[in-house]
Amino acid sequence: MSDFFGDDFTAELKSYFLDSLIKETEKFIDLVDESLWKRIRNEVAEQTKSWAVDAKTNEFLYLTEWLEGFEARASGIQDSAEFLKFLRAIKAYAEALLVEKTDSAELAAKFSLVAESRHETLFLHCKWGAQDFAIPILNVVEISSQLPLYSLPEKKPGLLGVVPFRGEAVPVVNFHDHGFMTVEAKNTYYVICEHEGVRFSLQVTETDDLMSLRDSDLQNIENHSSMIQASFVKHFFIKDSKSVMVLDLEKLVA
């Protein structure tokens, strides 16, 4: 996975655009209900013209095409639930670009309504040493290797410390306290996540590709005694003959 979008200034501009796009779509999502969705749909159709221009300026060409086609598709939306799928697809696409750093036809296809109708979920594949796990891309805010880790004044079970992120002290999950193997790594990354307004960070040694999974791809971890037994791990799947745990972020936050 690419470390960044080229030079630092270009990277900052692109990240700023994607952050703005995510926040703006979140505002529309919060406003959608049965009585207002048609009016909001028309507002979004107009807004996507501006988003498409900005996406093209930032060289996200496939996102540009996706947004340019929104106005034509919007007229065929039948209800608020279908409209929300469009909005969430835009948001998820922008969040994925923050992770992937590179736009592509394959990435754009993952956010088509075809994938949505198949009930697929997009996950980020991460590694902590030899242990593989995946987290929903919708919960990923950013990946950074430039954050200092600070210890807590008093050690708390399950937490490694905190990292500074956008003016917040974000707690870092201590995988060892949850049954993961101890890993001695010189280079680590922080995956900043958010679930229902709560931010936390996962320390990883590597981030791999994005993958779409259906419910049928997941296996119950309770049926495999050799797997790590943690309260926030219920399922896993097989990738390249390796078992990849799926983290339940709701239980992790709890």
CA distances from 235 to 72, 206, 216, 219 (A): 39, 21, 11, 5
Residues 109 and 126 in one domain: no
The helix-helix angle for 37-57 and 61-68 (nearest 10°) equals 150
pLDDT band at 78 (very low <50, low <70, confident <90, very high): confident
Six-digit token string for 24: 């703006």
In a domain? residue 199: yes
Alpha helices in the chain (DSSP H): 8-31, 37-57, 61-68, 70-74, 80-100, 105-110, 113-117, 249-253
Mean of pLDDT values over 25-30: 90
The helix-helix angle for 80-100 and 37-57 (nearest 10°) equals 20
In this prediction, residue 2 carries a pLDDT of 39
In a domain? residue 206: yes
- Give this prediction's pTM: 0.60
Residues 109 and 145 in one domain: no
In this prediction, residue 3 carries a pLDDT of 42
Q: Which strand (E) or helix (H) includes residue 239?
A: strand 233-239
For 82, the domain range is 8-117
In this prediction, residue 87 carries a pLDDT of 87
Give me the CATH number covering residue 244.
2.40.50.180
In a domain? residue 111: yes
Residues 74 and 168 in one domain: no
Last residue of a domain, one of 59, 83, 117: 117
In a domain? residue 24: yes
The better pLDDT of the pair 225, 81 is held by 81
Q: Is the confidence at residue 18, as pLDDT, over 90?
A: yes
Residues 143 and 246 in one domain: yes
Last residue of a domain, one of 117, 149, 168: 117
pLDDT tens digits along 231-251: 778 888 888 888 888 888 888
pLDDT tens digits along 151-200: 988 888 889 899 998 889 999 988 888 777 777 777 888 999 988 888 99
The better pLDDT of the pair 209, 131 is held by 131
Last residue of a domain, one of 55, 84, 117: 117
In a domain? residue 2: no
Residues 129 and 248 in one domain: yes
In this prediction, residue 52 carries a pLDDT of 94
CA distances from 21 to 5, 6, 28, 54, 217 (A): 17, 21, 11, 10, 31
Cα–Cα distance between 30 and 216 in angstroms, integer? 30
In this prediction, residue 170 carries a pLDDT of 94
Residues 52 and 147 in one domain: no
Six-digit token string for 10: 């270009």
Cα–Cα distance between 217 and 214 in angstroms, integer? 5
pLDDT tens digits along 201-226: 998 988 877 787 877 888 887 766 66
The better pLDDT of the pair 131, 1 is held by 131
In this prediction, residue 180 carries a pLDDT of 79
Residues 195 and 234 in one domain: yes
Q: Is the confidence at residue 57, as pLDDT, over 90?
A: yes
In a domain? residue 3: no
In a domain? residue 224: yes
Cα–Cα distance between 102 and 7 in angstroms, integer? 14
Residues 59 and 175 in one domain: no
Alpha carbon of residue 112 to chain centroid: 16
Six-digit token string for 80: 């608020």
SS3 assignment for 111-164: CCHHHHHCCCEEEEEEEECCEEEEEEHHHEEEEECCCCCECCCCCCCCEEEEEE
In a domain? residue 22: yes
In this prediction, residue 176 carries a pLDDT of 81
The total number of structural domains that make up the chain: 2
In this prediction, residue 5 carries a pLDDT of 45
Mean of pLDDT values over 3-28: 81
Mean of pLDDT values over 130-138: 86
